[in-house]
């Protein structure tokens, strides 16, 4: 069984492919030639670097040896230009292949008009490449391209691909009250129609977060949806010392050290709640330090709040985005990691921190997670500033408690987001291959 894992947003597909291969499975990562963001580059996962946040879309990463199981269109990774080619250039490159894509272009036109056909032609290399595998695990808009490749596939979810993208033409995507459309309406409407096609034709849809359940119901795909946790490379994200980085971040203070990897965003992350909670807890712990990114939609509001709370000397705002290799070092250097306090669910960063045996402060919806796992995630479940402050005070004061919470967090991630997911994934791939063969 040859498996392709497609669309490497946040390097999720790279991690899945690597873990599958660690367990002997023939799997390859297929990169989207249109996605040139550095966080989608496999090198971002392993490099130990920082980049200014305004250069993430076009920066060229340092040369590094790539695994032989990564597939990319020539000229789009190792020889990538500083500025990605525009839409017209990409279509001009694919136009000679259009006669061989008559079936795909007719379907795309019927589903999403001429814009949909243009998008499929733009992904000609992707469609052709995915068609060569026995099964595809598709992230992002990958379900749409896998549908046009006419190959058995699992639709994997990470967030906006199921909560926002399929509803851009209906006006009720997640957060539509405050989050505007991220592009031209006509373009996004065509993408929405293609994405719905991708979900309809998927053999299974893997829901990585219970908050996706109502969106699956709206799309009419609940019957083939499967709850499946995020893959975490628990061998890479493991406990380890980082004494030099820790000393640098503490800046002469005794600690403890709290780290929040999430951007400054009051709506999606609740950054303001952590700042208020930390300020209250730090009143009784002179050595405590908070480290968090110095970027995001609410950076200036956070700066003002830090000044108002009088904790400027205790908060380190980082000026650059960290590669995943460097982010792991920050997890290890910290005593406590804080994620988000508004959404009610977790993402990859939270699980990576837990896998490094760090106590995690986060807001999880208990009703949403009820029955999802054998045990509720062993996190410090808090939402309001007063709750955050009380939790921090206890973690600050009790080293043994802090170590115990961290150890339980790692054990839980290994059991629910680590190696056991491999066989479940392979069983699902085999099932959709068999179902496709039976229908034919």
Q: Does domain 3-231+420-439 have CATH number 3.40.50.2000?
A: yes
DSSP 179: P
**Stretch 358-376: mean pLDDT, rounded?**
93
In this prediction, residue 81 carries a pLDDT of: 46
Give the CATH number of domain 243-417; options: 3.40.50.2000, 3.40.50.1860, 3.30.2290.10, 3.40.50.300: 3.40.50.2000
**Stretch 217-241: mean pLDDT, rounded?**
94
Angle between helices 385-397 and 399-417 (to 10 degrees): 110
In this prediction, residue 165 carries a pLDDT of: 95
**Backbone phi, psi, residue 315, to 5°:** -115, 130
Q: What is the pTM of this model?
A: 0.86
Residue 223 reports pLDDT greater than 80: yes
Residue 242, burial from CB neighbour count under 10 angstroms (0-12, 13-18, 19+) = middle
| 3-class DSSP state of 261 | coil
With bands split at pLDDT 50, 70 and 90, how would you rate the model's confidence at 85?
Answer: low
Higher pLDDT, 197 or 75: 197
Q: What is the per-residue pLDDT across 27-75, written as a single tens digit (0 to 9) for each?
A: 999 999 988 888 888 998 988 888 888 777 766 788 888 899 999 988 7
**Stretch 242-252: mean pLDDT, rounded?**
95
**Backbone phi, psi, residue 385, to 5°:** -55, -40
d(CA 353, CA 236): 11
Q: What is the per-residue pLDDT across 135-156, written as a single tens digit (0 to 9) for each?
A: 999 999 999 999 999 999 999 9
Q: Over the Cα atoms of the chain, what is R_g?
A: 22
The answer to whether 301 and 308 have CB atoms below 8 angstroms apart is no
The answer to whether 15 and 4 have CB atoms below 8 angstroms apart is no
291-315 burial by CB neighbour count: b if 16+ within 10 A, else e?
bbbbbbebbebbeebbeebebeebb
In this prediction, residue 83 carries a pLDDT of: 47
> Residue 4: which residues within 8 A CB-CB, separation 6 or more?
27, 28, 29, 30, 71, 129, 130, 132, 133, 135, 136, 137
Residue 23 reports pLDDT greater than 50: yes
Q: Where in the chain is the domain with CATH 3.40.50.2000?
A: 3-231+420-439, 243-417
């Amino acid at each position: 069984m040859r498996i392709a894992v497609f669309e490497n947003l946040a390097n999720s597909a790279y991690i899945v492919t690597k873990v599958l291969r660690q367990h002997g499975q023939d799997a390859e990562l297929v990169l989207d030639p249109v996605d040139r963001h550095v966080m989608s580059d496999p090198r971002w996962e392993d490099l130990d670097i920082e980049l200014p946040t305004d250069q993430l879309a076009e920066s060229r990463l340092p040369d590094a040896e790539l695994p032989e199981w990564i597939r990319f269109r020539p000229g789009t990774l190792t020889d990538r230009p500083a500025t990605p080619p525009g839409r017209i250039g990409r279509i001009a490159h694919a136009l000679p292949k259009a006669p061989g894509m008559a079936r795909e272009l007719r379907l795309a036109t019927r589903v999403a008009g001429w814009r949909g056909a243009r998008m499929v032609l733009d992904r000609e290399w992707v469609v052709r490449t995915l068609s060569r595998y026995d099964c595809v695990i598709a992230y992002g808009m990958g379900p749409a391209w896998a549908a046009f490749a006419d190959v058995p596939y699992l639709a994997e979810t990470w967030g906006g691909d199921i909560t926002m993208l399929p509803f851009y033409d209906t006006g009720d995507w997640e957060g539509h009250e405050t989050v505007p459309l991220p592009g031209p309406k006509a373009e996004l409407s065509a993408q929405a129609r293609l994405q719905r096609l991708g979900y309809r034709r998927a053999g299974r849809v893997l829901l990585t977060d219970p908050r996706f359940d109502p969106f699956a119901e709206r799309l009419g795909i609940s019957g083939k949806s499967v709850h499946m946790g995020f893959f975490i490379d628990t061998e890479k994200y493991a406990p380890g010392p980082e004494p030099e980085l820790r000393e640098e971040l503490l800046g002469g203070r005794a600690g403890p050290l709290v780290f929040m990897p999430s951007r400054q965003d009051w709506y999606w992350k609740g950054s303001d709640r952590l700042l208020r909670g930390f300020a209250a807890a730090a009143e009784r712990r002179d050595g405590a330090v908070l480290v968090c990114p110095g970027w995001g939609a609410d950076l200036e509001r956070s700066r003002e709040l830090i000044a108002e709370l009088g904790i400027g000397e205790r908060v380190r705002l980082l000026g650059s985005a960290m590669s995943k290799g460097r982010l792991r070092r920050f997890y290890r250097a910290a005593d406590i990691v804080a994620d988000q306090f508004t959404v009610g669910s977790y993402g990859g960063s939270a699980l990576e921190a837990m896998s490094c045996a760090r106590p995690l402060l986060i807001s999880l919806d208990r009703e949403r997670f009820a029955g999802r796992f054998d045990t509720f995630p062993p996190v410090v479940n808090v939402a309001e500033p007063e709750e955050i402050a009380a939790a921090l005070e206890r973690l600050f004061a009790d080293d043994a408690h802090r170590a115990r919470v961290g150890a339980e967090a790692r054990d839980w991630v290994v059991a629910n987001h680590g190696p056991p997911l491999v066989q479940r994934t392979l069983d699902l791939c085999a099932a959709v291959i068999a179902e496709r063969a039976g229908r034919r």
